[in-house]
Amino acid sequence: LGALARVVAGPRVATSVEVCLCVLMFGVATAYFVALHDFLAATPLGPALARAPRGVDTFAAACLALPLSLVDDIGALAYAGAAGLCAIFVSFACIVTYGVEERTAVGWAQADGFTWMTPTSVSALASGFGVLAFCFGVAPLALQLEASMAEPRRFASAQRYALGVAFLAYAATGAGVARLYDGLPCAPDGVAGNVLDDLPRGAPWTTAPSAVRVAMSVVCVFSAPIGVVSSGEILEAALPPLAPGRRPLFLRRLAVRGGVAFGAATVAAAVPVFALIVALVGCLAVSFLSFVLPPYLHLKLALSREPAAVALDAAATVLGVVVVVFTTSLTALTTAAEVARAAAPPPVV
């Protein structure tokens, strides 16, 4: 994508694209570390981690993820995807099993406050937009996906079908689980954003949820290098070339990717809210690459090749900029408030 932007719009736009891609993949690594923090906090390790210095879990995860991040190619991390799918399947099975068990015991009547489709504020709407952009923002990887296909000419239709199936799966799963847990004793204040938080910690369910959370934590350690490697490669490509030899290359890779890993761990410790990290990255990086860059590049081409499309491309570009600025500003304010809340000393009892 950066190479295309360089050809069409020049080096400055290409640099902004590479910065956004770097921020996006840095956010991916950060999100995995935040998720790990959330998972471990709900296990028997939670009380010990609460007494420990802030960030000890995310920094430990960065130490474990760094050796995996020194691979030559991100393809070497493909096994992490399979492990993640297995852990997600087991987690979903536990969630549904417990929900059905509890729902059978208390009845299938729903609570009156089921408002999962109604945002509570404009900031919540902006954050939700960022999460959707993060989850469904295929534009930053579209060229790589198209090139990897056996029949690249069918990419457009394949993309439509894939996003449609993914959306229906997200909607059906999210709405189904939310309805299943709505009104249960384990969710008196409404269904948690991470429904694993609504699983009980007492017998007879003590072992299963904790095992699932630990398994998902391990998956986070194995998956965080995806973001570390991608960000590191962008930063390494921007540095001056090194003299031939494996040792200088390894040392620079260690320094760059170590900086990315521990930087992501630091952000994760400062903003330990998974949804906010995903929303902020989605609003800023993914939205720019998805809603601003494509119409802008097409506008640059249309100026000399298709004048009739200039007005539409210009309008789409301006609308994309407005969306990015508006949603990113609101989500950044929410994130800043959460950082201030996390940094505040605990109340004296």
- Per-residue tokens: 37: 């923090």
pTM of the model: 0.76
**pLDDT tens digits for range 103-128:** 888 777 665 555 555 666 777 777 77
More confident residue, 158 or 141: 158
Mean pLDDT, all residues of the chain: 80
**Euclidean distance between CA atoms 40 and 57, whole angstroms:** 8
pLDDT of residue 257: 94
Contact 69, 235 (CB under 8 A): no
Length of the chain: 349
- In 3D space, the residue among 166, 192, 168 whose CA is nearest the CA of residue 180 turns out to be 192
Quote the pLDDT of residue 348.
Answer: 54
d(Cα 265, Cα 270) in Å, to the nearest integer? Answer: 9
What CA–CA distance (Å, rounded) separates 324 from 292?
8
Better-scored residue on pLDDT, 55 or 76: 55
What letter represents residue 72's amino acid? D
Q: What is the DSSP letter of 307?
A: G
Percent of the chain whose predicted confidence (pLDDT) is above 70: 84
29: nearest Cα among 80, 76, 79: 80
Q: What is the DSSP letter of 272?
A: -
Distance of CA 84 to the CA centre of its chain: 14
- How far from chain centre, in Å, is Cα 261? 15
25-39 confidence digits (pLDDT tens): 898 899 899 989 988
Q: Comparing 81 with 272, which gets the higher pLDDT?
A: 272
Please name the residue ranges forming H helices in 182-309: 207-238, 246-270, 274-281, 287, 293-305
> What is the C-alpha to C-alpha distance for residues 186 and 207, in angstroms, rounded to an integer?
17
What 3-state class would DSSP assign to 154?
helix
The amino acid at 330: L
Full DSSP string of 174-195: HHHHHHHHTT-TT-TT---SSG
306-332 burial by CB neighbour count: b if 16+ within 10 A, else e?
eeebeeebeebbeebbebbeebbebbb
Instruction: State the average pLDDT over residues 118-146.
Output: 72
Mean pLDDT of 227-255: 82
Q: Where are the alpha helices (DSSP H) in the chain?
A: 2-9, 11-41, 46-51, 56-68, 78-106, 122-136, 142-148, 155-181, 207-238, 246-270, 274-281, 287, 293-305, 310-343
289, 320 Cβ separation under 8 angstroms: no
With contact defined as beta carbons under 8 Å apart, do 257 and 226 qualify? no
Q: Which residues contact 143 (CB under 8 A, 6 or more apart)?
A: 1, 4
Assign 140 a pLDDT band (cuts: 50, 70, 90): confident
The radius of gyration of the chain's CA atoms, rounded to the nearest angstrom, is 22
Q: What does the alpha-carbon distance between residue 34 and residue 57 come to, in Å, rounded to a whole number?
A: 10
